[in-house]
């Protein structure tokens, strides 16, 4: 039976599209949730007949109420894995407790360097010659969870934030798909900060 995947996305949905484009995928994307009603990720999901839901922080919800509503929606979809694919909100205790060590996130930098919303810009401003992307499990911090995989991307002399981010996204999409395939096939075990996929 295919694994059940729920995807959280805030923007264009290119990571979601990469997951949807896998031929004969051993998973079904059972729902896509966004904090942004204008997210193109929702359109991509609807074009594939996938259930969508918007839980906006503007819906008169405080942070705890928003998190509880997200947990409620996700729990209803019964996912084996939750994938944050360009999701720009920090998940709280309701979601984390509902899916312990089963939430995956991507980040456009080599963590623990340059966490947060501006990883590409921060790496450029710092003057690094190598940056990249990370896939990690989500914990209560901001981009602090145990690392599943990382890929390096060289910073070119002519790079600006947009050009560098576009090259990082190529690696990020491929890595996310690879990790999701492995997790669906084998799961993982977590020992402190060490994650093992059998």
* Tens-place pLDDT, residues 54-108: 999 877 779 999 999 999 999 999 999 999 999 999 999 999 999 999 999 999 9
Question: Average pLDDT for residues 47-60, to the nearest whole number?
Answer: 91
pLDDT at 82: 98
Tokens of 114: 């340059």
The string of pLDDT tens digits covering residues 104-128 is 999 999 999 999 999 999 999 999 9
Q: Is residue 70 part of a domain?
A: yes
Structure confidence at residue 58 (pLDDT): 79
Span 30-44, mean pLDDT? 97
Task: Report if residue 124 sits inside a domain.
Answer: no
- In a domain, residue 190? The reply is yes
Q: Six-digit token pair at 141?
A: 């911090």
Half-sphere exposure of 187 (CA within 13 A, CB side): 5
Q: Give how many domains the chain has, as a whole number.
A: 1
Indicate whether 164 belongs to any domain.
no
> Domain span at residue 19?
3-107+135-147+176-196
**Would you call 136 a catalytic residue per the annotation?**
no
- Considering the entire predicted model, what is its pTM? 0.96
- The label of the residue with tokens 């019964």 reads 78
152-176 residue pLDDT tens: 999 999 999 999 999 999 999 999 9
Angle at 157 between CA 151 and CA 160, to 5 degrees: 75
**Neighbouring residues of 37: CB distance < 8 A, sequence distance ≥ 6:** 54, 56
CATH number, domain at 188? 3.40.50.170
Residue with tokens 């990571």: 15
Establish if 113 belongs to a structural domain: no
Check 40, 48, 94, 107 and give the catalytic one: 107
pLDDT digits (tens, 9 = 90+) for 3-21: 999 999 999 999 999 999 9
In a domain, 71, yes or no: yes
120 belongs to a structural domain:
no
pLDDT at 158: 97
Q: Is residue 31 part of a domain?
A: yes
Q: What percent of the chain has pLDDT over 90?
A: 96
| CA angle (139, 35, 58) in 5-degree steps | 115
Q: How far apart are CA 131 and CA 197, in angstroms?
A: 24
């Amino acid at each position: 039976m295919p694994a059940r995947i729920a995807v959280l996305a805030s923007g264009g949905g290119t990571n979601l599209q990469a997951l949807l484009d896998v031929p004969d995928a051993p998973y079904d994307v059972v729902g896509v949730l966004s904090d942004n009603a204008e997210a193109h990720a929702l359109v991509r999901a609807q074009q594939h007949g996938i259930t969508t839901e918007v839980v906006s922080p503007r819906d008169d919800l405080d942070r705890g109420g928003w998190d509880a509503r997200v947990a409620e929606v996700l729990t209803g979809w019964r996912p084996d894995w939750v994938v944050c694919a360009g999701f720009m909100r920090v998940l709280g205790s309701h979601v984390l407790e509902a899916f312990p060590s089963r939430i995956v996130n991507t980040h456009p930098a080599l963590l623990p360097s340059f966490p947060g919303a501006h990883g590409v810009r921060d790496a450029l401003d710092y003057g690094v010659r190598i940056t990249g992307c990370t896939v990690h499990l989500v914990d209560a911090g901001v981009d602090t969870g145990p690392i599943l995989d990382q890929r390096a991307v060289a910073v070119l002399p002519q790079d600006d934030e947009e050009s560098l981010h576009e090259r990082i996204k190529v690696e990020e999409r491929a890595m996310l798909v690879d990790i999701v395939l492995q997790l669906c096939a084998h799961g993982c075990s977590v020992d402190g900060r060490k994650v093992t996929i059998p």
